[in-house]
Chains A and B, each alone.
Chain A
């Protein structure tokens, strides 16, 4: 069966510091991968999605970037964090033949 991992689970970072969040998927090949941010009262905001290695589509221009160095690895990065980057970051995958997505456990980021 497929499993999706995210780490770290929780992160507290100072403003201006860099960021790297990692997501890996097991048990499937060539998944579509997604990064979301979830803020209280604002629902799920799609940040990036990828349909293959090195292929990244950005949904919202912002302080963040994404990379997909391997088939089942998706990385969310920032060179300098802003206070507004705080939130709950979720990675998801799709590609089991159904038009749906499966989410990871999430990373809670607090920028101080």
Chain B
């Protein structure tokens, strides 16, 4: 079983739709959870950062962590064509290992 599983998509939605992106993981030691957005031919950009379980909201974006189910989600409300990108989840157990574990990314296209 891979440490982090993420559906690669592609996912295509109309403008204005609510988008749900998800990752599952197997390592119960993970405590820090991140979502990155990566536009084509660019470096990943940190979008959301959360610690432990719960929800975090930032504008149209909501990150949700359910540690009991080992499941994290990113919701995008009122999606825009500019949201078209690959979304990568990442997680870390903290301490001094200095390394993140990444999902492979989900390619999202928002059609005008």
Chain A residues packing against B (C-beta within 8 Å): 6, 32, 41-44, 46, 49, 51, 88, 90, 94, 98-106, 108
Report the stretch among B54-62, B72-80, B97-105 that lies at the interface: B97-105
Across chains A and B, the number of contacting residue pairs, with CB separation under 8 Å, is 50
Chain B residues packing against A (C-beta within 8 Å): 8, 31-32, 34, 36, 41-46, 49, 51, 88, 90, 92, 94, 98-100, 102-105
Which secondary structure dominates where chain B touches chain A? loop
Report how far A100 CA is from B32 CA in the complex, Å: 8
Report how far A49 CA is from B100 CA in the complex, Å: 11
> Is A100 within 8 A of B49, CB to CB?
yes
> Is B49 within 8 A of A94, CB to CB?
no
> Is B41 within 8 A of A108, CB to CB?
yes
A-B complex: 6 closest residue pairs judged by Cβ atoms: A43-B104, A103-B43, A99-B32, A99-B92, A106-B43, A44-B102
